[in-house]
Amino acid sequence: MDRWLPKIVIAGAIAILIFSSILVPRLRSANPQDRDVLIQVLGGTADFAAEEAFHEAEVYFHAGFDTECPDEQTDHHVHREVKASESVQLPFLKAIEHLQGEAAPRIHKHLVGEEEKELLPWFIAAVRLNPHYIDAWRVGSYWFYRTDNGHRGIEFITDGIKRNSGDYRLYLDRGILHHRIKEWGPAIEDLETARRLWKNDSEDSPYELRAIGTYLRDCRAHQRVGS
Amino acid sequence: MGSLAIARLAIIENLRRKEFYVVLVLVLGLAVWMAMLNMGSSGTGRFAKDVVMQVTWLASFALAIPLAVRQMASDLEHKTVYVLASRPISRWHYIAGRTLGAAFASVACFACMFLVLVLMMMFKGVTSVADPGLWQAFVLQITALFMVCSIAMLFSVVGTPGAAVTFSLLILAIMRYGGPSILALIAKMPPLARILSWVVYLTMPHLEFFNISQRVVHGWGPLPLSILGQVIVYGLGYSFVVTAVAAVIFRRRWL
Amino acid sequence: MRMDAAIEVRNLSVVYRTGRMKKKPAVKDLSFQVKKGEIVGFIGPNGAGKTSAIKAILDFIPLPRGTCIVDGISSSDPRSRQRLGYMPEVSFYPKYLTLEEFLHVCAAVSGLPARSRQKAVMSAAERVGMTEHLKSKLSTFSKGMLQQAGCAQALVHNPDILILDEPMSGLDPIARMRMRHLLADLRSEGKTILFSSHELGEIEMVADRILLLDKGRLIYQGPVAEAVDTGGNLEQAFLRLLGEELPWAA
């Protein structure tokens, strides 16, 4: 028995690992407000991991190229190749930089077509680790819409709304997705909810209020003409 | 011959311990989970490849460092060093043998985990066994394991086992994952601090050269052979120098 | 060095650092020789410096003051241990190995060619009566069995010089008798043996000469018979030479 006990324990651990990937989503859907038990145990680390997962999605979009350049002079939103730091003049340091560049991709490119689906697991991971990570729900829903279909994106962000029912931004984005797939009625509903819940709590808030208004007018116009 | 015999001793000892098998089973479990992972319409190929690869790489380091540190610590604590040191071998042969043994044992563990990784990726259809980038990553990780074992051995000669493991892990984490950023940070320092920092930076092990997992995951293709050769020569040379330094320090140690 | 001396120690001093400015001398200006083919008992009270002297001979303590010459070569040269076998006092050996594997490693590290190792391993195991335990892991051995394994590893490469630290420790009477016979056999083969022990009775039976250390200094060296010449036994001679008188000493 002593010889077999460790093996039984290890086999049990593997079985739990495999079946948890099947069982946990089902359990979670029954209590959408709750985080996984494991995530609760991780605490603040889970939030950090969620941010890293979200960042990884961006890295994946750029095919492994980390756009957060160490040189703060380079705006990472601008598509620019990383150039060697101008202050590094010594040959052996240039050699080190060269070898570092060979090991990790440094040429800027994007995933295209079916490859874009590779981003999605990171959004799923981000929101699972932190269900209150609003940006992950928003950006993830866009990519689900873009790579699969609008309904998949809506399904994704609806999950986010269940966990963050007071956040106007999620209703706004769901409304926009409905608008894109020409579902005017649901779009208007979501946009009106967004306007009702809107708070002037960030730099983007006034622009988002304007966006709510713009989309609402557009949806109503389409609804009136029946297109 | 003495060093190889001591290395063989280290390999047998370490492969008979349970830690390796526990880690292998956990990696196997993770690989099975990733292979079965289905997130609806989302692609999970790169994701699975990336996660299992990172876990495999990290697990191999996590096994290698305590394994290397334990060589010396166990020998000195239990006085089993006397049996070897009383033979016609120099302290250099002893250190080299212990380091080689730790490295070979770590490589054996890593090879098993790598096999699991390859099988998982083939099952997912995200790689071919003929992918040269994958095998380059394998070879580079083996070289990195040699470096890490030699560093851990050096720290175990100069400090306690706990300190040796801690500092080895610290250096691994900083250089492997922060190596490229450090150069830019140093460039912003005042001149004197910059020079001193460059000296320290150059002597640190550049483990970031050996991490081409992103190339493999995102299909950037294999490294040019000249670069591969340079990096391997650097890794093995660094390991040799660090082991030699450890041997010089150990020479003066009272057993 | 005299040509018939297997081990020669001259003016050896070993000083341990016990604190920042504190030193403790373990061996003071020690000089002695062990001739080829003789068995010398190394005796003394606890802390006399026996183990420190042995460590210096084996180069476990690098660069001590004085010189140690083994088999005509300075002890700091690994070649001095080519024909030397050492049995440590503390019998800890790699517990994950079997006895056979352990002896194979010892033979390999000692420089024995691969083709002769198996024979050497079998011969060493046979000499110490451990043939039936060759396939057993060292972790399953009792203290006495570990002592015998230690003796086997010291003999596996057929050395000419043996340094045994407390070889009788932990052995049952039968094993002690076997060890005494082994030592006698080794002497008849012309081996040189320096062994340290607290078992004065065993030393009296086996050794040709004794070296008595106390507080790091050599108090007495000479034939065993001479030491016990005034009657009694070696234990009484030991106490007399150290100037100790105990109420229960006869």
pLDDT at A84: 45
For chain A positions 30-59, those within 8 Å of chain B (CB to CB) are none
Find the mean pLDDT for residues C29-51. 89
**C-alpha–C-alpha distance, residues B83 and C160, integer Å:** 17
Average per-residue pLDDT for chain B: 88
Rg (CA), chain A: 22
A107-135 residue pLDDT tens:
777 888 888 888 899 999 999 999 999 99
Tell whether pTM > 0.80. Answer: yes
Confidence of residue B41 (pLDDT cuts 50, 70, 90): low
Confidence of residue A71 (pLDDT cuts 50, 70, 90): very low
To the nearest whole Å, the CA of B107 is away from the closest chain C CA by 20
The secondary structure of residue B209, as a DSSP letter, is G
Q: Which ranges of chain B would DSSP assign to H, the alpha helix?
A: 2-15, 19-36, 45-78, 81-85, 91-124, 132-158, 161-187, 191-203, 213-217, 225-251
The per-residue b/e assignment along C63-92, b for 16 or more CB within 10 angstroms, e otherwise, is: ebebbbbbbebebeebebbbbbbbbbbebb
Average per-residue pLDDT for chain C: 86
Pick A67 or B160 by higher pLDDT. B160
Q: Looking at the complex, does the CB of residue C120 fall below 8 Å from at least one CB of chain B?
A: no
pLDDT at C224: 83
Q: Note whether ipTM > 0.90 here.
A: no
For chain A positions 75-104, those within 8 Å of chain B (CB to CB) are 85, 87-88, 90, 92-93, 96-97, 99-100, 102-104
A3-62 residue pLDDT tens:
677 777 777 777 777 666 666 555 555 454 555 676 777 777 888 889 989 998 988 888
Identify any residues that bridge with C34 across adjacent strands, giving them in sequence order: C7
pLDDT at C20: 77
pLDDT at B43: 65
Q: Looking at the complex, does the CB of residue C90 fall below 8 Å from at least one CB of chain B?
A: yes
Confidence of residue B157 (pLDDT cuts 50, 70, 90): very high
3-state secondary structure of C151: helix
Confidence of residue C104 (pLDDT cuts 50, 70, 90): very high
B–C contact: 3+ Cβ pairs < 8 A: yes
**C-alpha–C-alpha distance, residues A150 and A143, integer Å:** 9
Find the mean pLDDT for residues B173-183. 81
pLDDT above 70 for C246: no
pLDDT at B117: 86
Record: contact A14-B227, CB cut-off 8 A = no
Find the mean pLDDT for residues A194-204. 85
Find the mean pLDDT for residues C140-154. 90
Amino acid present at A106: R
Confidence of residue A88 (pLDDT cuts 50, 70, 90): low
pLDDT above 70 for C75: yes
Pick C188 or B44 by higher pLDDT. C188
Find the mean pLDDT for residues B95-123. 90
Q: Describe the strand order of the beta sheet including C65-70 as a list of residue ranges.
A: C23-35, C5-17, C65-70, C73-74
Q: Looking at the complex, does the CB of residue B187 fall below 8 Å from at least one CB of chain A?
A: yes
